Structure formats: structure tokens, C-alpha cells
Amino acid sequence: MVKTELRVIYGDTDQMGVVYYANYLRYFEAGRNEFIRAKGLRYRDFEASYRLRLPVAEVGVSYKLPARYDDLVAVETSLVEARRASARFGYRLVRGDDLLATGFTVHACIDLEGRVQRLPRELLDRLSSGEALSGAVSKE
């Protein structure tokens, strides 16, 4: 798990000062980027080296408590599952001891022409280092 701290900016909130629901996905993205960076990679380097992309194929969010303007929040990001051509990340958004939201994203692995490709073994090894996956990393 990698923890990423963020400060809620005014532009992320609605008229009531509560974070607009879709902005939680931006927080998840920030957490995922820092997760990948903590594993010794930068997403742009992955794209350039492997000539692959990891677009979001599925997403889910469960909202527990509202995040508000100027809150210091943390996104806890983990690689939950890796399959032959996809990876699932899990997220917890917290403010101190309060759980604000949980969620996940599933990413397909595609080449530059949009064709599904196998996730490179080196990438899987790096991303799963130090992680306890709920499902084993599948070689299929």
C-alpha cells in the first residue's frame, strides 16, 4: 500500500463546499500515479519503454463521508489483482481516522493501436513487490 496526501482545493468542491463526486476519481488517479512511482516507475516511462497503455476499463466508488474544502486527505492505493492483460487497483480515501470513500479501477493493457496485450512480467513483478494480492498474479 502506498499513501498519498492531498489537500482539497476549492475548485474540487460544489456549492456546499463538499468534494464533487467525480473528483474522487482524480484522487484515485493521483494515488495510482504515486503508487507506480513508489515502485520505481513513472507512467510516462512505462508508456515509452513498452509502447503500451493502461486505460481504465471499469471503476467503482463507495462514498462514506464527505471530503470538504481544505481537508488534508490521503489516498491509500494497492494493487489488488493482476491478470494476463489487466490490473485492478484498490483505494481508500481517508481524513485522519475517518474513512471517506473506497473504490477500485480496472485497467486493460493495450498497445498503441488499441489491441489487448499481455502485461509485461517485469511490470507485474515491480508493481506487486511488497504487495499482498487478494488474487494471485495470473500468468494466463
Structural domain contains residue 137: no
Structural domain contains residue 139: no
Rounded Cα gap, residues 99 and 22, in angstroms: 17
Mean pLDDT of the chain: 91
pLDDT of residue 131: 59
CB atoms within 10 A of CB 94: 19
Structural domain contains residue 135: no
Structural domain contains residue 101: yes
Domain ranges, residue 11? 2-128
Q: So which residues are the catalytic ones? A: 14
The residue-averaged pLDDT of 80-87 equals: 94
pLDDT of residue 47: 87
- pLDDT greater than 50 at residue 18: yes
Label residue 137 by pLDDT band (50, 70, 90): very low
What CATH code is carried by the domain that includes residue 108? Answer: 3.10.129.10
Structural domain contains residue 136: no
Angle 46-88-28 from CA coordinates, rounded to 5°: 80
Number of domains in the chain: 1
Give residue-wise pLDDT tens across range 24-75: 999 999 999 999 999 988 888 888 889 999 999 999 999 999 999 999 999 9
